[in-house]
Structure 1
């Protein structure tokens, strides 16, 4: 009888931690514009990531035993992840074109490409973001929701939360919401089917890496 009550209690605690972390991250992100003017540009860049990712990292550390089983990795996850990333990016481009009539293209750069630009365009989204956001959204949030509701509603709720958090952090845009939602659904489905985070982590890196490649100021 004790064994039957422990699992639901642990998943409920994990869910409460995840929701609390999201609430803190959103509150900090929304308040950030009011005080970032007091910081130097490099400090403001660092703070923008800390206020968004900091609460998520703390939540992941606090619930590590809950989502750790999904860290299993297989070689096939690399191939599946590439498919997830390419498919989601292609869908995102089509969504953007349908909504704005414009295709993404190289950005304009005044002056040389700086270290901060490389960090915000490549290092943070391609390397760091997949290692934080996928364990949090697909491992912790989606994983804990699936123990309370059916898998498909859990997938949809997680994908919506993922899309909304990104639009709060990156600026409100219907095209961005739709693109992030499409990616979230594809990545979440891959995790749901494999019970592993590997495909989503690789897919996230490919998804963001393609965006960096397309918009790089060549």
Structure 2
């Protein structure tokens, strides 16, 4: 008689089943995409003819520079190194549950509350653009919709989960180390994207990375982290509109 298979909907922190069959290959793909993104940002910032982010074209190009390589890395890694060769099982992206929404809402609200307590949001949505333009709207939509999805797929779904599978340690210890490394990469990419980042911004990014990482580790799912990231960013945009 066949033993019952482990449910795919209960892959929590102590789950024995690995999401990545070749985790170091997945990490290598993630590293290449990360390096390519940093290089593209460096070249773009130093190119005198690069479109200004004040225009829609420049804003879209900035978004593509950061998010496109990460999205491609997730798909490529899942196909090449995922245990089931699909993005969902590899990254923990599964059908939404109310638990994802509630956990994400709670964590997102808590993160925003802590950040606002120590580093209050200042300015307006216009920010460096001066007024609310089409470019600002594009950037705001990307911040609330695209960034939470793609960044969580890459940093928590790919980097964190692949590292957790690759490290020769207990699941909990490996998961903790994976959270720290993926959070460091998350912060570094944001520092490269935003010139002149303040210490407060760096701490805020670190808190988001840690919060979403812990949520992913203990649920084994990515939905809660995406929801938390979305809520956090949406509240930030709302405060700038206030």
With the shorter chain as reference, the TM-score category is 0.7 to 0.9
Q: Report the structure, 1 or 2, having the larger helix content.
A: 1
TM-score, normalization: structure 1? 0.86
1:177 is paired with a residue whose SS is: helix
Unaligned 5+ segments in structure 2 are 1-17, 168-173
- Offset of 1:74 from its aligned partner? 1.6
Query: Match for residue 71 of structure 1?
Result: 93
State which drifts further: 184-193 or 85-94.
85-94
Equivalent-residue separation in structure 2 for 1:163 and 1:84 (angstroms): 18
Query: Match for residue 169 of structure 1?
Result: 193
Query: Match for residue 31 of structure 1?
Result: 43
Equivalent-residue separation in structure 1 for 2:185 and 2:135 (angstroms): 28
Unaligned 5+ segments in structure 1 are 1-5, 97-102
TM-score, normalization: structure 2? 0.78
> Runs (4+) of structure 1 moved beyond 4 Å?
6-9, 108-112
Query: Match for residue 211 of structure 1?
Result: 236
Indicate conservation of the 8 Å contact 2:19/2:161, yes or no. no
Q: Alignment RMSD, CA only?
A: 2.1
Query: Match for residue 6 of structure 2?
Result: none
Distance 1:147 1:210, change over 3 A: same
Equivalent-residue separation in structure 2 for 1:105 and 1:193 (angstroms): 34
Indicate conservation of the 8 Å contact 1:106/1:214, yes or no. no
Equivalent-residue separation in structure 2 for 1:80 and 1:71 (angstroms): 15
Query: Match for residue 81 of structure 1?
Result: 104
Is 1:53 aligned with 2:78? no
Aligned partner of 1:12 among 3, 17, 24: 24
